[in-house]
Structure 1
Amino acid sequence: MPLRPLGLGEILDGSVRAVRANPMVMFGLAAMVVTVAVALQTLLQLYVAGLLAGALGDALVGVDGTTDAAAVSEVFSLSLAGTASGPLLLPVSSVLTGLLIVSVSRSVLGRRVSMREVVRSPRVWWVLGFTLLVLLAQVVLAAAWVGLSVLLFAQQQEGAAFAVVLVGALLLAAAFAWLTVRTLLVPPALMLEGKPFWATVARAWRLTRGSFWRLLGIYLLASVLVAVVGSLFVFPASLLSGVVLGMTGSTSLTIVLTAVGTIVGMTISTSFLAAVVALLYVDVRMRREGLDLELARAASEP
């Protein structure tokens, strides 16, 4: 990596180079953690889908116009089970991102870190805790928006209710984007700086001042790229699972096929996005604090 402020192309290219520089950690560790998490999610999804399929099948038996209650219940149970088990992957992705940031930070200096060193980083639990705090804040905002909308509809104020739904959705999306960018550098700061929790969070928050739009643009572009690449694996798996469901009616096989695509897509996306976030952190500090001089000195040391 050039030890100077980085451009867009250098950050994206550097993220790929960071993954290739230490594939055992960036891909190996990511694949192991994601596989375990998706396996647990798949087991939960199979269990929930089985419960929902029976309940929905019984509920649809006597409904007029329902020609195939079993098929309808299978489709709905898969969707509901996937939604219910989806949040299980969020803390896993958070922990994995924190661990991979350590590897990227060493790659900037042209060094490699072993998997044992990475997994022994205790500050990763701070990253998980902060992620859950941000998620809680987002849930509270979303709950307030939904609650106000439902209250207006209940009071038969349809005009105000629709206005709250539309304007609130836009404001909520803007608030989530703003919060995501302002907290984007918190995970690398927590992993790489040996300061107390709240002091590190406040410092990372200050680092994003004056760089909001640049951070938003680069992170959004990186997210779109990994979404496109991930869909190359997830979409065929979902398509194949749909065919299998139609031919065999096997919910279990459908969920397993979808899980395989999720493992590959999530491994690639988590590795690349972790590298992008780490390099954005390094880039902002080089621009504002002259970190490039410190890194140059560190790179010349044995």
Structure 2
Amino acid sequence: MIPLRPLGVGEILDGAVSTMRSHWRPVLGISLTIAVVTQVIVTLVQGALLDTGLATLGDPTAPLDDAASLTTVFGAGLVYMITLIGVVVATALLTTVTGKAVLGRNITAAEAWRDARPRLPALFGLILLILLIVTVLPGVGALPGLLAAAAGGGAAVTGPLLVLGVLGAGVVAVWIGVGFVLAPPALMLEKQGLVKALRRSRGLVRGSWWRIFGIWLLAMVIANVVAAIVAMPFSALALVFGTDAGALLAGDDGFGWTFLVLGGIGSVLGSLTTLPLWAGVTALLYIDQRIRREALDLDLLRAAGTADGTRPDGVPGS
């Protein structure tokens, strides 16, 4: 799927797409199964909110202690967690597929599941730890402003403290998050423990932070743009056939199950692009960093060809 040497940006993106195309059966099977299961659960949760908290989403005057508002917050958090679980499982399985594809080997969805299943608990712990770090930090950054507000400080003091604190903590959170972006592939492909995978990622990212951030951000933008284009027709159909225009104009909740189902179909189709592309790019970034730092290409050549480093097609490795 990739040349066994240090990779450029185009080669990483092309390798991820080539994996999706050449190994479409396991990639499509894994992505579709996870996307459908998670979206069905998400749609049911959102449907349960239709008569409770969903109507308050556009009401800025709703009190924070209102039961509907609390239900909305809880439902949004639950939807986020369900989506996260789906992304984690897809990353685990598709990273395994990409690792095999680099060696030119085929793997079925069932084989990927058997290989990745023992690592899923550690992977869940890893992702939750990373999310905890990158979500708690902005709250810590906002603490000085909140304390100043509690002490009776004026808007001229609390406002800048809040803005600067959140922005500064956000920058630190992004820096830490990118440093840990290669931890999932290290955990899955090297069978590392949680803490060792985090350390491994930090070591591989060190000195290449901006490059990894740029490539991962570019892949995320491309995946989301394609997903939005794919989902756009279903979003339009959801607005046309799944909303009550009169209720919306009157300021009431005009959404219904038809809106949620049609939107969910679009989300599933969009996930068929985002899930394998994110997983593929992350796995290939990990492999590229190991090639650059540890001459992993020589090991890959031996694994893909013969013990003397000859490629499967007979061309000597370099």
Tell me which interval the TM-score lies in, with the shorter structure as reference length: 0.7 to 0.9
Match of 2:157 in 1: 160
Contact 1:149 1:161 in 2 (8 A): yes
Match of 2:24 in 1: 23
Match of 2:269 in 1: 264
1:81 to 1:144, Cα distance in 2 relative to 1, 3 A: closer
Question: Deviation at 1:53?
Answer: 5.8
Give the Cα–Cα distance (whole angstroms) in 1 for the partners of residues 213 and 89 of structure 2. Answer: 22
Residue 138 (1) aligns with residue 141 (2) = no
Match of 1:173 in 2: 170
Does the residue aligned with 2:153 lie in a helix, a strand or coil?
Answer: coil
Give the Cα–Cα distance (whole angstroms) in 2 for the partners of residues 235 and 170 of structure 1. Answer: 32
Count residues with an aligned counterpart: 286
Match of 1:111 in 2: 105
RMSD: 2.7
Give the Cα–Cα distance (whole angstroms) in 2 for the partners of residues 247 and 202 of structure 1. Answer: 53
Match of 1:278 in 2: 283
**Higher helix fraction (1 or 2):** 1
1:81 to 1:202, Cα distance in 2 relative to 1, 3 A: closer
Give % identity.
34
1:144 to 1:173, Cα distance in 2 relative to 1, 3 A: closer
Question: Deviation at 1:82?
Answer: 6.9
Counterpart amino acid of 2:96?
V
Match of 2:53 in 1: 52
Question: Deviation at 1:256?
Answer: 1.1
Gaps of at least 5 residues in structure 1 are 64-75
Match of 1:13 in 2: 14
Give the Cα–Cα distance (whole angstroms) in 1 for the partners of residues 89 and 148 of structure 2. Answer: 40
Q: TM-score, normalised by structure 1?
A: 0.86
Gaps of at least 5 residues in structure 2 are 62-68, 247-253, 307-311, 313-318
Deviates more, 1:262-271 or 1:98-107: 262-271
Query: Deviating runs (4+, > 6 A) in structure 1?
Result: 76-82
Counterpart amino acid of 1:28?
G
Match of 2:123 in 1: 127
Contact 2:291 2:297 in 1 (8 A): yes
Give the Cα–Cα distance (whole angstroms) in 1 for the partners of residues 202 and 209 of structure 2. Answer: 11
Give the Cα–Cα distance (whole angstroms) in 2 for the partners of residues 262 and 149 of structure 1. Answer: 38
Match of 2:244 in 1: 246
Give the Cα–Cα distance (whole angstroms) in 1 for the partners of residues 274 and 52 of structure 2. Answer: 32
Contact 1:49 1:78 in 2 (8 A): no
Counterpart amino acid of 1:272?
L
Question: Deviation at 1:77?
Answer: 11
Does the residue aligned with 2:257 lie in a helix, a strand or coil?
Answer: helix
Contact 1:99 1:124 in 2 (8 A): no
1:162 to 1:40, Cα distance in 2 relative to 1, 3 A: same
Question: Deviation at 1:39?
Answer: 0.3
Contact 2:137 2:173 in 1 (8 A): no
Question: Deviation at 1:205?
Answer: 1.4
